[in-house]
Amino acid sequence: MDYINRLKQLFENEKNEEQAVAMARYMKNQFPFYGIKTPERRKCMSVFFKETGILAMPLSHEFCLKLWNMPEREWQNAALDYLANYIDKLEVKDLPLLKTLITTKSWWDTVDMIASKQVGNLVLRNPDLIDTIMNDWVIDNNMWLRRTAILFQLSYKGQTNERILYDYILKNADSKEFFIQKAIGWALREYSKTDPESVKNFIKKTELAPLSRREGSKHFLKGETV
């Protein structure tokens, strides 16, 4: 079966030009869209997975990249839908694939998903990757790799490596990039749900961009100052 053409048929049956314009505008016109909203796209993917039986096979980097290289943004989301089914089976050898997905067709919608889900899960199961990979990503010239390194612990809660979190933030605290400043604030806000006092103290003693400070403080009780 021609997987790409079959999925293309499903997508084209659901396309909506009016929604496509609005969705592209929301993403700053970085990508074209079919105009398929998430619930409808997931229905398409469910039909596709059932018809093809592809999920019974090992993860295919080739298929994932074919999806990724298609023009409409729904295809990159489809690649992430596909990857989501293998999240607990990802191995260190799959990291180059994830890096490719982070550094091509990059925008917050896909990068944040990969960072917090696939990369986060993989590093949690393989903590040696912090020394071998993440320590390099956090100072990489590619902004999206740095954002990934800041965000990969987003869902760790009590398993968060606080030293690494704060170290990575400090390495990027002087960044003028909006997406880095926002990531710092987001990471702090999420961790503040686990250890608010630690985050308060870190924010108090650290020179952060106003955006990072504001975002990082959002979870604290109204009326408190940091």
pLDDT single digits (tens) 106-151: 999 999 999 999 999 999 999 999 999 999 999 999 999 999 999 9
Whether the per-residue pLDDT at 39 is higher than 60: the answer is yes
CATH 1.25.10.90 fits 117-226, yes or no: yes
SS3 of residue 161 by DSSP: coil
* pLDDT score of 186 more than 80: yes
Mean pLDDT of the chain: 97
DSSP state of 50: H
pLDDT at 68 over 60: yes
pTM score, two decimals?
0.94
Handedness of CA 131, 133, 134, 139 (dihedral sign): positive
For residues 146 and 180, is the Cβ–Cβ distance under 8 A?
Answer: yes
Distance CA 142, CA 110 (A): 15
Q: What percent of the chain has pLDDT over 90?
A: 96
- Which residues, in sequence order, are CB contacts of 99 under 8 Å at separation 6+? 145
Given this model, what pLDDT does residue 1 score? 73
Quote the pLDDT of residue 223. 46
The pLDDT-based confidence of 226 (bands split at 50, 70, 90) is: low
Rounding to the nearest 10 degrees, give the CA dihedral for residues 149, 155, 156, 162.
50
Q: What is the pLDDT of residue 71?
A: 98
Structural domain boundaries in the chain = 1-85, 117-226
What are the tokens at 77? Answer: 């989301």
Instruction: Please say whether the dihedral angle defined by the alpha carbons of residues 207, 161, 220 and 177, taken in this order, is positive or negative.
Output: positive
| Each residue's pLDDT tens digit, 156-180 | 999 999 999 999 999 999 999 999 9
- Taking the domain 1-85, which CATH number applies? 1.25.10.90
**Domain 1-85 and domain 117-226 have a common topology:** yes
Q: What does the pLDDT average to over 178-195? A: 98
